[in-house]
Amino acid sequence: MARVCGLGLLLVLLLPLVGASMPGMVFRLNKGTLKYVSDITKVPLQRVLKVTLPYFLVHSRGVIQPTRLKILSVYVYHLRLKFVADVGVNLLAAANFNIKVYRVREPLVLTLPVILMADVRVAQGPIQTPIVSVSSCNSTYGNITVLDGVNSTSRLGMILLQKHIETAFNNKLCLSVSSLVQFINVHLGTLIGLKPVGPESQIHYSMVNMPTITNDYISLDINAVLFLLGKPIVLPLDATPFMLSRNVGLRDTMTTLGLSQDLFDSVILLLQKAGSLNLDITGKLFSDDNPLNTSVLGHLIPEVAKQFPDPMPVILKARLGATPIATLRTSNATLELRPYIEVLAAASNSDFRSLFTLNVVVNLDLQLSVSKVKLQAATTLLGDIQLTVASSNVGNINTRQMHSLVSSVFEKPLLDHLNALLGLGIALPTVANLYYMSPKVFVYEGYVVISSDLFYQC
């Protein structure tokens, strides 16, 4: 695995984006990615270029002497990757090969400068994954310099030796680059799959069409599909294709990731369907800080005092009727929840009596963040919760009094619950060992942009 570190990173980014239908994402790799990839690719490239060389036949006084050649080291002193519009990535590597010639009389150490050029094509594979392949590759050579053993080197011998090594390199160097790319392809193919969101839910990414490749970036349109218990979450409305304009987020980060409103809607629909947004708050008797008991309610509602002469615990069951609404406005993400709360009192140890139900509106501010590979959110309350009585089995209810009681027992558990839930986050498109570095999240009208560098841990 360590072998493919580096050059692998770029390719890694292109592959794990797998899946089926609607909510859109755009994943854009900027020039900064190439700079980073070339920095960390040098060492693995040096390793694959250290090929074996065939014996060189030395003609000496009428005798043919097979001579062993060995690459002692490869030093890639310059590596440049650049985007090539409509193709993929062009690689230019300048390297010095130090080669030992095991001559009988006196070993020779020489240096051969090589320039390696390759085009790596990025395309869409048959199963909605990007695939990469070397579409053209060649090497050019400088002249051999002898480092050691100068004395007995004939000029003709050097020219023959150089020809011998070039022939071997012509066959082998491009194959090495190709096999590195192929190995990465195969290796990455195993990483396609569902990523867990919750215990029973997953997210699945896929590439929608051919990548858009310009001289400045590669952009991938990605579908994200969420699954609950193996079934896809389907938005009620036809989702609109998501596009990302050029000048969003930060200019100089390695990647720009655009997340559509549809993605947020899907996540919320998933949480709602999974029942994760439901919450029970149970009162305890003889507790100084939990006013959820019938004696406190009895002071506000005479009928409760009448029905429950002895103090009994009270339960709030908050359930979501309507789907919560996430709203994305410039620099501002909010979430509106409309739970109904059923208030029940214990009539006996196992039996609960419904007292009344409330319709509640809670507006929350969402602070989005990215941690390693996950998009997370934290919430705070925006303004006061609003509340109306939906139905009552205990007569008239003073909404104002109920408001302060419910606010005091509901708000904190709700925020704690949501923050724990949203803190789990959802996996963004990535693969093992690849992390988002110094990510910044920007909220725009109807979409979110993450500008981030990347860190590949070999």
Ligand X SMILES: *[C@@H]1O[C@H](CO)[C@@H](O)[C@H](O)[C@H]1NC(C)=O
Provide Rg for the chain, Cα atoms. Answer: 33
Contact between 138 and ligand X by CB under 6 A: the answer reads yes
**Interacting stretch for ligand X, rule CB under 6 A, among 168-176, 293-301, 366-374, 423-431?**
293-301
Least Å distance, CB 97 to ligand X, is 15
Least Å distance, CB 400 to ligand X, is 19
Compare residues 153 and 433 and give the one whose CB is closer to ligand X: 153
Amino acid at 421: L
**Interacting stretch for ligand X, rule CB under 6 A, among 95-103, 290-298, 353-361, 410-418?**
290-298
Compare residues 382 and 458 and give the one whose CB is closer to ligand X: 382
Beta bridge partners of 440: 451
Least Å distance, CB 166 to ligand X, is 12
Given candidates 15, 48, 74, 118, which one binds ligand X under the rule CB under 6 A? 118
Contact between 143 and ligand X by CB under 6 A: the answer reads yes
Given candidates 133, 153, 182, 295, which one binds ligand X under the rule CB under 6 A? 295
CA-based end-to-end distance of the chain: 8
Task: List all residues 6 or more positions away from 54 whose beta carbon is below 8 Å from its beta carbon.
Answer: 69, 164, 168
Least Å distance, CB 115 to ligand X, is 9
Cβ atoms of 77 and 94 closer than 8 Å: yes
- List binders of ligand X among 144-163 (CB under 6 A): 149, 151
C-alpha–C-alpha distance, residues 19 and 17, integer Å: 7
Q: Which residues in 369-384 are b (16+ Cβ under 10 Å) and which e? A: ebeebbbbbebeeeee
Least Å distance, CB 284 to ligand X, is 7
Query: Residues binding ligand X: what is the number (CB under 6 A)?
Result: 26
- Supply φ then ψ for residue 95, to 5 degrees: -140, 150
Contact between 133 and ligand X by CB under 6 A: the answer reads no
**Interacting stretch for ligand X, rule CB under 6 A, among 13-21, 120-128, 264-272, 282-290?**
282-290
Q: CB 449: neighbour CB atoms within 10 A?
A: 21
C-alpha–C-alpha distance, residues 394 and 372, integer Å: 51
Contact between 293 and ligand X by CB under 6 A: the answer reads yes
Least Å distance, CB 385 to ligand X, is 14
Rounded (10°) angle between helices 31-49 and 7-14? 130
Given candidates 332, 386, 391, 396, which one binds ligand X under the rule CB under 6 A? 332
Least Å distance, CB 30 to ligand X, is 22
Beta bridge partners of 108: 101
C-alpha–C-alpha distance, residues 256 and 249, integer Å: 7
Given candidates 51, 109, 117, 194, which one binds ligand X under the rule CB under 6 A? 117
CA dihedral 258, 261, 266, 271 (to 10 degrees): 100
Phi-psi region of 164 (alpha: psi -120 to 50; beta: other; left: phi over 0): alpha
Given candidates 58, 285, 305, 389, which one binds ligand X under the rule CB under 6 A? 285
Compare residues 288 and 351 and give the one whose CB is closer to ligand X: 288
Contact between 142 and ligand X by CB under 6 A: the answer reads yes
Contact between 310 and ligand X by CB under 6 A: the answer reads no
Cβ atoms of 132 and 184 closer than 8 Å: yes
**Interacting stretch for ligand X, rule CB under 6 A, among 189-197, 237-245, 287-295, 373-381?**
287-295
Residue keyed to tokens 């090929």? 51
Least Å distance, CB 18 to ligand X, is 29
Least Å distance, CB 192 to ligand X, is 28
Task: List all residues 6 or more positions away from 246 whose beta carbon is below 8 Å from its beta carbon.
Answer: none
Q: CB 307: neighbour CB atoms within 10 A?
A: 17
Compare residues 142 and 321 and give the one whose CB is closer to ligand X: 142
Least Å distance, CB 376 to ligand X, is 19
Least Å distance, CB 294 to ligand X, is 8
Phi-psi region of 223 (alpha: psi -120 to 50; beta: other; left: phi over 0): beta
Centroid of chain to Cα 173: 33
Least Å distance, CB 453 to ligand X, is 26
**Interacting stretch for ligand X, rule CB under 6 A, among 61-69, 112-120, 246-254, 350-358?**
112-120
- CA 67 to each of CA 50, 154, 185: distance values in angstroms, whole numbers, following the listed order: 18, 15, 37
Contact between 119 and ligand X by CB under 6 A: the answer reads yes
Q: CB 52: neighbour CB atoms within 10 A?
A: 9
Contact between 407 and ligand X by CB under 6 A: the answer reads no
Compare residues 287 and 401 and give the one whose CB is closer to ligand X: 287
Compare residues 295 and 419 and give the one whose CB is closer to ligand X: 295
Cβ atoms of 196 and 188 closer than 8 Å: no
Cβ atoms of 234 and 22 closer than 8 Å: yes
**Which positions lie near ligand X, rule CB under 6 A?**
90, 117-119, 136-138, 142-143, 149, 151, 285-291, 293, 295-296, 311, 329, 332, 334, 382
